[in-house]
Structure 1
């Protein structure tokens, strides 16, 4: 059972005050029944709902606050509409009803170690029934407790409890559905985000294997040259270098194979551009929220297409957006705009921020391998895949290009141009024409 739903998750005393005021106001929706002064009010429906969704609160505190607030409201109404001689007795009756209600609830349900919906329903029936009998008995000095009234009060208590618990249980059920749906959605977003990062790393590991092979080849050539020059110690060292590099290559290949099998493109269905943008923007908002930043994300998309290589596109977008988040930092009224436009044969993606901008002298360097302007407090460079690798993905995977415009103090704009056919298709012939 949910003890702290978000809409009631305030400070304890704030929730008590809210409950007391709401029940007191609801008590004004009423009609007289059975005996003079006894009423059937909407407050008797709201009280079980508040108890159900505030099971972390001591019901005695909650009930006694209501027992004070509700009679005050009712007493004011009675002073305006009835003889003042009845105000005291009717007000005391209200206090007795709510006090008796929460005491029974406290004893029968709240102190239980194991609570469930069945026990809650039965407890509310008993609370409503006995509290009504006490109220009628007080107002009539026990004269109104006829068999007919006792039976009818039980029916009223049963009906009110059915309605109140049905509202509580249904709301709880739908709330769980929403929470689970949101959790699944966030887990899916997280998976796509992580998978994109892993897939991009695998991509660059594959490129590094070629460099490793070149090093291995050069080490073996050096080994042969040293052998011809009869330098055994140096030859042995060159051979060991070649051997170790060869082992590193095989370790790389094992990692690539394992991750490649898990993130096999054949098992990944294409994603629509709108879904990709939703995933990237939603996860970026989570990062912004976790850092307590004041940054607004604006997404503009006028292109409806599917992207088979969506992991690479997520990598491109996420890195550019994270660069924008870092550039804005603690600045107030930060904004990052992500715009996708159809440019005929190309798809243009623009990521614009109003952050600190990039110094003009650094602009020619930002796409160089290893370049970074971001350091942590210990002086280590933050290692994302970097703009150089973003550029590599843009060029190698989508035959595209990336440009940047920036003015220090005003912000930065990245323009990414991707070949539409390569972006929206996979494994097609050159003469095939595909449209978004």
Structure 2
């Protein structure tokens, strides 16, 4: 059913295209748009046998044209004569195309071009020969038919090339979008794994303290239930630690460690982050201008972590806008005296002076969800500082004025960025 529907659509398109034509040489010999449509549709529907397809087209299209001629007060015998020549053209075209192109296994666009030029030329020669009763041939007729075949085939090939190029651009854009999404997701997971690794050490300290408490209680004259409780705490923490380690291992196995050794250009990193943040701004209908300035180019080895740092600071600035109008976030990246400097500025609500010394502390947050009342987990800036200092051996500082805006500055040595 689907095959029949496709053939019917092809036949209809060609029938309509046959109504755009010019007369040439002898009555009822026309140069139509359909002979541009036909090879284009044959190329994109290669699953159909061209002989079978053109035979159906060679019946539907000429009949349609014949009907249009008949209602135009053309004599019936002349209509039949015209229809017969059209049928002959399509039948010949399909047979020649079948042997020159469709039957071949090693095909390319060059083969296709040569095939449709030949099919067009041979079919037109046969059609005009019938209309001329195989006499009165002139050299200029063959020359003109060859030029027409070449021009029509060139148009068809150009259309196919444009279509393929358009598909290539779409595919490239889709691949880039998926890769960008993969980089962003990986950066989030890696930064979370880093933070979990730090928490693992904290959990181990708690376990050691609980066990140390058990030893003290057991050596002194304390109730046995105290000893048992402290030992249970140590055991429970140990089990939690094991589960935690298994989760970390599972996440690390999901990530390809080889990707850490693949350097990424800072401009590519910026392009990915910019596309992601602008999409967020557009989706949430925020009145925020995002401006990136990259004055110096360099490669970044542990780029997933840098992506996490920059994104975190940008989204922190977006939250600081708190629905303000004419918000602006500027990200400036440059090199100076052997260091890579990243500056993130915004004109948001700023940070109170009494809070500045606490913003990098775990759990500290001045933000909460107005709908639910839940306090934000406050790990963003802790993440940022930990990654900057531990992963890149860099430094981060902040300057802020309440009601005016905030400026974060990160400085990392070039050799630490490049690896």
TM-score normalized by the length of structure 2: 0.67
Query: Which residue of structure 1 lines up, in the alignment, with residue 223 of structure 2?
Result: 231
1:389 corresponds to 2:383:
yes
Cα drift, residue 143 of structure 1 = 5.7
1:247 corresponds to 2:247:
no
- Give the direction of change, closer, same or farther, for the CA distance of 1:155–1:308 in structure 2 (3 Å limit): same
Query: Which residue of structure 2 lines up, in the alignment, with residue 183 of structure 1?
Result: 174
- Give the direction of change, closer, same or farther, for the CA distance of 1:124–1:171 in structure 2 (3 Å limit): farther
Q: How does 1:149-188 map to 2 (within 5 A)?
A: 150-151=84-85, 155=89, 171-188=162-179
Partner SS state of residue 71, structure 2: helix
CA distance in 2, matches of 1:357, 1:33: 78
Judge conservation of contact 2:206–2:237 (CA < 8 Å) in 1: yes
CA distance in 2, matches of 1:47, 1:333: 55
Judge conservation of contact 1:341–1:347 (CA < 8 Å) in 2: yes
Judge conservation of contact 2:365–2:378 (CA < 8 Å) in 1: no
- Give the direction of change, closer, same or farther, for the CA distance of 1:117–1:232 in structure 2 (3 Å limit): same
Extract unaligned runs of 5+ from structure 1: 1-25, 50-114, 426-436
Per-residue deviation, residues 354-391 of structure 1 (Å, max 9, x unmatched): 33433444433322221223333212234474112211
Partner SS state of residue 372, structure 2: coil
Deviates more, 1:276-285 or 1:154-163: 154-163
Partner SS state of residue 350, structure 1: strand
Extract unaligned runs of 5+ from structure 2: 1-16, 94-119, 121-148
CA distance in 2, matches of 1:349, 1:383: 25
Aligned residue-pair number: 339
Query: Which residue of structure 1 lines up, in the alignment, with residue 410 of structure 2?
Result: 416
RMSD, matched Cα: 4.1
Judge conservation of contact 1:401–1:418 (CA < 8 Å) in 2: yes
CA distance in 2, matches of 1:256, 1:191: 19
Per-residue deviation, residues 179-213 of structure 1 (Å, max 9, x unmatched): 33222222211111111111111111111122112
- Give the direction of change, closer, same or farther, for the CA distance of 1:332–1:414 in structure 2 (3 Å limit): same
Query: Which residue of structure 2 lines up, in the alignment, with residue 403 of structure 1?
Result: 397
1:136 corresponds to 2:136:
no
- Give the direction of change, closer, same or farther, for the CA distance of 1:302–1:145 in structure 2 (3 Å limit): same
- Give the direction of change, closer, same or farther, for the CA distance of 1:118–1:43 in structure 2 (3 Å limit): closer
Q: Which has the larger radius of gyration?
A: 2
Deviates more, 1:275-284 or 1:323-332: 323-332
Partner SS state of residue 292, structure 1: coil
Partner SS state of residue 364, structure 1: coil
Cα drift, residue 404 of structure 1 = 2.5
CA distance in 2, matches of 1:316, 1:126: 68
Per-residue deviation, residues 385-406 of structure 1 (Å, max 9, x unmatched): 4112211211122222222233
Cα drift, residue 243 of structure 1 = 0.7
Per-residue deviation, residues 308-347 of structure 1 (Å, max 9, x unmatched): 1111101101101112233346555543322210012211
1:323 corresponds to 2:316:
yes
CA distance in 1, matches of 2:274, 2:295: 16
Cα drift, residue 134 of structure 1 = 2.7
Partner SS state of residue 167, structure 2: helix
Judge conservation of contact 1:45–1:163 (CA < 8 Å) in 2: no
Per-residue deviation, residues 105-127 of structure 1 (Å, max 9, x unmatched): xxxxxxxxxx9974997577766
Deviates more, 1:297-306 or 1:229-238: 297-306
1:285 corresponds to 2:301:
no
Judge conservation of contact 2:321–2:327 (CA < 8 Å) in 1: yes
1:347 corresponds to 2:281:
no
CA distance in 1, matches of 2:402, 2:37: 58
Cα drift, residue 263 of structure 1 = 2.9
Q: How does 1:24-423 map to 2 (within 5 A)?
A: 31-32=22-23, 118=48, 128-139=61-72, 140-142=74-76, 144-145=78-79, 147=81, 150-151=84-85, 155=89, 171-227=162-218, 228-263=220-255, 265-268=257-260, 269-328=262-321, 330-376=323-369, 377-383=371-377, 385-423=379-417
